[in-house]
Structure 1
Amino acid sequence: MLLAKRVEKVQVIDLIPSEIVDQIMAPPAPVAPPTPPTPTPPKPTPPKPTPPKPKPTPPDPTPPKPKPVKPKPKPVEVVKPKPKPKPVKPKIKVNLNSTMRQPDTQKVKAQQAAAERARQAEAKRQAALKQSLNNLDSKLSGRTSVNVPQGRYAAANYESLIRRKYVDATIHPGTISGDPVVKVQLVIARNGNVISARIIGVSGLASWDRAVQKALDRVKRIAPFPAGMSGAKKTFNLNFNSRSFQ
């Protein structure tokens, strides 16, 4: 109905192209139902980011093998050696009733005889010297006849004193074959001090030479000069024979 009315009112204009007229005169096209609104497509969900590939977990480092623990050695029990029993010293029984050992009587007698011979020889020498001095004294007169014998007699006595001193200081080596003689020279000060003592002639027997030398080393003083001897010091040359020292 509406379309009919609209046709009545429409004035045909020749100038309208036929195509348009055809369109107008054509039956109305069916009204298409309203197109439903095109639904808004949902926004595309952005793809989830691809998670990065997990890095391969490095294998756990192999822990170093523990060093083998050496077992502590068990303390060795030290067994102390048993002390050795001290050897029992045998008791020496002393027989108090036994007789004392007697020295060699033959050796003692020989030494005594030798000493006696030496004393007798010295006595004879002293007697001969005294006789000579007395004879000299009778021939001399005045002051000289008094002083000279006194000085010589004093010197002779002093020489005997020296000899006895060295006999006492000598340790005799024992049995000696023969009668070896050692020549010694002594220099003695007036106060009796031995200034020097030396061997000037060996006997040829080493044991006797050593015995005399040790005696010379031991004696350091004799005795002061007697009143009849003059001089600050004197030199004496003496023969030490083995037998006279026994």
Structure 2
Amino acid sequence: MTATTHSPAETHSHTHDDNGSALGENATLHEPISPDGTPEPGRTYTVPARCGRAVRVKAGQTIRIANPHGTQVCDTWIFNAAHLNEFLSFEHTRAYIDRVIPRPGDPLVTNQRRPIAELTADTSPGVHDTLIAACDLYRYRNFGVAGYHDNCADNMRLALKAIGLRAREVPQPFNLWMNIPVKPDYSIEWLPAVSKAGDYVDIKAAMDCVFVFSACPQDIVPINALHPVEVEFTVLA
């Protein structure tokens, strides 16, 4: 289990005029895959439970994100490596592909409406979420959690900081394996993943990217079967 360092001042205040600063800290900040996020191709890296990792993926390379236990949600962000203010945007992707959840062969587009990557393979049933914001400290405060709770928003911020980068906001993530069905009355449910152990997705970069992953720390609603565990990723080529 990863130890969490509590923020000295557990407030909701940021020290910048944007949303890029973490509100607490965990091991994510001190355990990058390399100083600048460059991976060793073919090597499988672990994103520990409740933590995040950032990795550079070059245009044309494919990254595989795997769910070893089948139960874990992985919040996934993709940034343009040259300009982090351009990033995978599901507000724009849903309009581009005319679907709520992408399928293999679908492009993933940025907030500038151009492809940043393509979903090329998915061995799971294809149930992912593109509607729900990353969990953050505010969400856990709304749940009644006292003190700091690991969260995906901070994991993204810390993973970028660990390789010397900073984004000004926390975009809507691609919540891999997160099962949030929309019911006929347009209400939603928070259900366990339907993926199985070993399921993976492959995403091919259309430009030089920085991918960020968070092994979601959510342990209050049952999306991770109430027990967050690790996920894995490998840059294939």
User: Per residue, is there more strand in 1 or in 2?
Assistant: 2
Alignment TM-score > 0.5, same fold: no
User: Per residue, is there more helix in 1 or in 2?
Assistant: 1
Structure number with greater CO (CA < 8 Å, separation at least 6) is: 2
TM-score bin, normalised by smaller chain: under 0.3
Normalising by structure 2, report the TM-score.
Answer: 0.20
Structure showing greater Rg: 1
